[in-house]
Structure 1
Amino acid sequence: MTFASLRVTKGHGTQNDFVLLDDRDGSVDLSEALVRELADRRAGLGADGVIRVVATDLVAEGAAVLAVEPAARWFMDYRNGDGSIAEMCGNGVRVFAAYLERLGLWDGVEELALGTRAGVRRVRRVAAPTGGEDWYAVDMGRWTVPGGPAVIAAGFDAEVQVAGLEVARPALSLDVGNPHTVLALRDDELDGADLTRSPAVTPVPPGGTNVELVVPLGEQDVDGVVVGRLRMRVHERGVGETRSCGTGAVAAAMAVRTWAGAGAPDVWFVDVPGGTVRVTALADGHAELAGPAVLVADAQVDLEALAAR
């Protein structure tokens, strides 16, 4: 169906920002061109990605989701800023949950089950560690090191060349429902890295990868629990450098935890340019991502003007 205008909402999770639209009946033609136009930071609304709310039974991937969790009524249709389809987005899941609350499609009390291309994700409200507005905690599913025990023992399975760094660095590949490649740096190297250009990853991942640059900051005692901390910058496939990446934070924390070996903390705070999120390794091999989600504006987009940019 063609519309002259489109009502949307702008939101962000630690400044990883999104345009959200309510298309629960699946009537909007969310083309690659429309996604690019909405995400354009000069001629559009500006965003790292576009998220559509649609009934799970109306999308091709919905049958598999509903077979696992019939209560996953709503599907998070996530698109990168360049229009490409992505499996999911950790910051986006939290913002999606806040948007469902705004729409009256979730009460914010019971656990929310929702569909993504990476499977079912479960969301709950939790207290923010420093007070203030509640955070949203998402069970991000199982994280893995695709290379298995041999790669875990070696600590790396790839090499990454980043502009601004003199030599390529060893890196570890992880899967968090989407692909990631994590490399460790010093503080000054993290600050000096140029992520305006895509890092070169060897071997080249067939479906592309997100690249996380991390600086481990050690461990500390927080209310009697030993937690880890790290800094992170990220280059997202199909987007470029973003202020935050939820799945990237999980990958970064689990990579540093893997490198640390036995006895490493299960809880990690990840500092990104847009704020801080918390990653927890769960007993079942899953990881939980917790952090804020903010809806900042509602807008009525003139689609003719948008397309005429």
Structure 2
Amino acid sequence: MTSLPSPRPTTPSTLHFTKGHGTHNDFVLVADTRGDLDLSPEQVRRLADRRGGIGGDGVIRLAPTAAIARAGEAVADAVLAEEPGAIWFMDYRNADGSVAEMCGNGVRVFTAFAEALGLATLDGGGELALGTRAGVRRVRKEDGPDGTPWYAVDMGPWHLPGGPEAEAAGADAAVAVRGWTAPRPALSVDVGNPHTVVALASTAELEALDLTRAPQVAPLPAHGTNVELVVPLGEETDGETGLTTGRVRMRVHERGVGETQSCGTGAVAAALAVRTWASAGGRTPVDTWFVDVPGGLLRVRALEGGRAELAGPAELVFTGETRL
């Protein structure tokens, strides 16, 4: 892994940063180990600007959870009450400067960043518990399908906002995409942040979508929603292990960002929506899913107790300094 300099105090004018990505969902990462950095929405937008800044789908600040609590965010107090060991907090901002609950790809990249800074050790079976605005997230390390390190994140509880009625109907919303003649049914899935999932009939239709404009969702959740367009690719059973896995292909339009190469929480929502549809159709639910996104491959597992796990790679690309 890339060796990074030790964290150092930042000034109002100069910011030390690292660029990282998880399946090409990319972020500007900032180590604020003293908890005294306050990035304005305008500064976040400039950092994330792909022409006038560093460029990224979002900005992640690593800060002490206690400092987030002192700043008045009650969720940080709840994080420490649940897990006193979650001393670091992922302060995530979308590219447009808005605050987001959390980001599944971002959690993995945050963890790789914490490792590089010497703030976490996951090799040898270690675990990192960190705080997010969606609660505590726990991360472990494993070998990915290609032998490279993957990070597996317990994403916490998920649910269908539409309840049993939406589960039975397979939908509780409608989504319109530029070029469609009519809206299509969609299922709302909450994974700590809001998602709306639409099933398509073919990969050709998926590839032809125009996502240069945000899909229109009705009813629109109060804080907006991410929209996943998915094609279920079926299930297969391993002859040696007997494990049945499903596969899904996905594109995503993220609120506050636009179309991205990947979305971790979106992959979880997509897999769980397809699993829900299969179950409603009378099929035995499959718990492990591989999700193909434009930026790579992710794995989603439905866990006991209504929780989910997301696994995939994370890479730190370069470091530098910029003037705010």
Q: TM-score range by the shorter chain?
A: over 0.9
**Matches of 2:182 and 2:38 in 1, distance apart?**
45
Q: Which residue of 2 aligns with 1:263?
A: 284
Letter in 2 for 1:293: A
**Matches of 2:300 and 2:113 in 1, distance apart?**
22
Kindly report the root-mean-square deviation, in angstroms, between the aligned alpha carbons of the 2 structures.
Answer: 1.1
Q: Is the 8 A contact 1:250 1:279 kept in 2?
A: yes
Q: Is the 8 A contact 1:14 1:275 kept in 2?
A: yes
Matches within 5 A, 1:61-210: 61-109=75-123, 110-131=126-147, 133-186=148-201, 187-210=203-226
Matches within 5 A, 1:255-294: 255-261=273-279, 262-294=283-315
Q: Which residue of 2 aligns with 1:307?
A: none
Matched, 1:50 2:59: yes
Q: What do the CA deviations read for 1:209-265 (whole angstroms, capped 9, x no partner)? A: 000000000011244311000100000000000000000000000000000004121
Letter in 1 for 2:170: G
Q: Is the 8 A contact 1:164 1:192 kept in 2?
A: no
1:190 is displaced (CA, Å) by 0.8
**Matches of 1:20 and 1:253 in 2, distance apart?**
28
Letter in 1 for 2:196: T
Q: Is the 8 A contact 1:171 1:183 kept in 2?
A: yes
**Matches of 1:73 and 1:107 in 2, distance apart?**
14
Q: Is the 8 A contact 1:175 1:251 kept in 2?
A: yes
**Matches of 1:2 and 1:95 in 2, distance apart?**
24
Structure 1 gap ranges (5+)? 304-309
Q: Which residue of 2 aligns with 1:227?
A: 245
Q: Secondary structure at the match of 1:88?
A: coil
The structure 1 residue matched to 2:268, chosen from 228, 232, 250, is 250
1:2 is displaced (CA, Å) by 4.6
TM-score, normalization by structure 1: 0.96
Deviates more, 1:204-213 or 1:89-98: 204-213
Q: Is the 8 A contact 1:143 1:175 kept in 2?
A: yes
**Matches of 1:62 and 1:182 in 2, distance apart?**
30
Q: Which residue of 2 aligns with 1:8?
A: 17
**Matches of 2:33 and 2:54 in 1, distance apart?**
21
The structure 1 residue matched to 2:256, chosen from 238, 248, 251, is 238
**Matches of 1:281 and 1:111 in 2, distance apart?**
20
**Matches of 1:2 and 1:24 in 2, distance apart?**
13
TM-score, normalization by structure 2: 0.91
**Matches of 1:100 and 1:282 in 2, distance apart?**
26
**Matches of 2:266 and 2:43 in 1, distance apart?**
26
1:149 is displaced (CA, Å) by 0.9
Letter in 2 for 1:88: M
**Matches of 1:278 and 1:32 in 2, distance apart?**
32
1:129 is displaced (CA, Å) by 1.9
1:166 is displaced (CA, Å) by 2.5
Q: Is the 8 A contact 2:121 2:127 kept in 1?
A: no
**Matches of 2:11 and 2:119 in 1, distance apart?**
25
Letter in 2 for 1:150: E
Aligned residues: 302
Q: Secondary structure at the match of 2:249?
A: strand
**Matches of 2:140 and 2:121 in 1, distance apart?**
10
Q: Is the 8 A contact 1:165 1:189 kept in 2?
A: no
Q: What do the CA deviations read for 1:163-198 (whole angstroms, capped 9, x no partner)? A: 132321100001000000000012222111111101
Q: Percentage identity across aligned positions?
A: 64
Q: Is the 8 A contact 2:30 2:61 kept in 1?
A: yes
**Matches of 2:23 and 2:60 in 1, distance apart?**
16
**Matches of 1:4 and 1:152 in 2, distance apart?**
51
Q: Secondary structure at the match of 1:233?
A: strand
Letter in 2 for 1:115: G
Structure 2 gap ranges (5+)? 1-9
